[in-house]
Structure 1
């Protein structure tokens, strides 16, 4: 069994903001595999599904971004899942809008949701799919930027990226992270 969690903030005011890229991918993935992410459990909205014969739990933590680790830890304990079987999908401001970066492990890179997960799991050894949302403008506050909405041009790019990220998650489950990294860790113009 795998846990696949997309990070974001609950509530209508945060829908389709940069920080909710993980939630957007979870919605696309749920649609792709015919799952319903609506059960309230583990401080999250959860759903069950199957990808390539593997049972998966899809999660959208409802703890707000900076406390995402509480929800992930609760689910990991309940399902007795090791950190390497927990895939986290989240936004990354160091990547161009729509660019994906898949990693088997790594630091938080300044992302508070990932910092919380590392603190609660006690390890950085969990796979992740980062979805680029673009660098913040120099004079803009980081919180205002990540909680802001995409421009029309960015939204079209993000719609494609969200679908690609859902495909990448399925590829990770089906054929492994190494192949998914080879297929998706390229700059947009290389594709």
Structure 2
């Protein structure tokens, strides 16, 4: 398994979207940057907040696209072209409707499952789906018609705390994830439930 060079946290820009369910991926990157004492700065050429960090002795790029969710791919594409990052060296951290709050799962490849951020990244990478995904569970509102409003609102405090716990738990495995030791991580992270 290849190691990861670029960690992308998905979300929507603007204070009105802070701590909404759809911003779980961005929340992870902000927490990782803080933990690594890395200052994320807006980088125009990457259309996002960007930073460089050393994880397990390996230089990694952190990115939170500041485009809206459904245009996340253009930020990822720009950074990949500039730094010659391959799709299999990318880990995208995003909210996942199909997992309950308080859980997180790791996988490589697959479809977009209706997630507009993933859909745009797959498209901008030339339909390549070989990147890694860290999926932060946010739960499902119960009906497809309610999804848009659900992901763009803040979770009630009990749910929000569970999402935060799942992010914190995932952060504990960042060194192993970046190094490509995914099986070890999956064995423990996948059984975690806040």
Name the TM-score, length of structure 2 as normaliser.
0.92
Give the number of aligned pairs.
189
Matched residue, 2:85: 81
SS of equivalent residue, structure 2 residue 105: strand
- Equivalent pair of 1:26/1:60 in contact (CA under 8 Å): yes
Match of 2:155 in 1: 150
Find the residue that maps to 1:141 and give its secondary structure: helix
Q: What is the alpha-carbon distance in structure 2 between the residues aligned to residue 51 and residue 43 of structure 1? A: 23
CA root-mean-square deviation: 1.6
Please state whether the residue corresponding to 1:87 is helix, strand or coil. Answer: strand
Q: 1:121 aligns with which of 111, 114, 125?
A: 125
TM-score by length of 1: 0.93
- Aligned match of 2:182: 177
CA 1:135–1:187 in structure 2 vs 1: closer, same or farther (change >3 Å)? farther
Report what 2:7 is aligned to.
4
Report if aligned partners of 1:8, 1:22 keep a CA contact under 8 Å in 2.
yes
The equivalent residue for 1:35 is: 38
Higher mean displacement: 124-133 or 33-42: 33-42
Q: Secondary structure at the match of 2:106?
A: strand
5+ residue gaps, structure 1: none
Describe the SS at the equivalent of 1:103.
strand
Q: Tell me, what secondary structure is at the counterpart of 1:56?
A: strand
Mean Cα displacement is larger for which, 4-13 or 105-114? 105-114
- CA separation in 2, counterparts of 1:140 and 1:186? 30
SS at structure 2 position matched to 1:188: coil
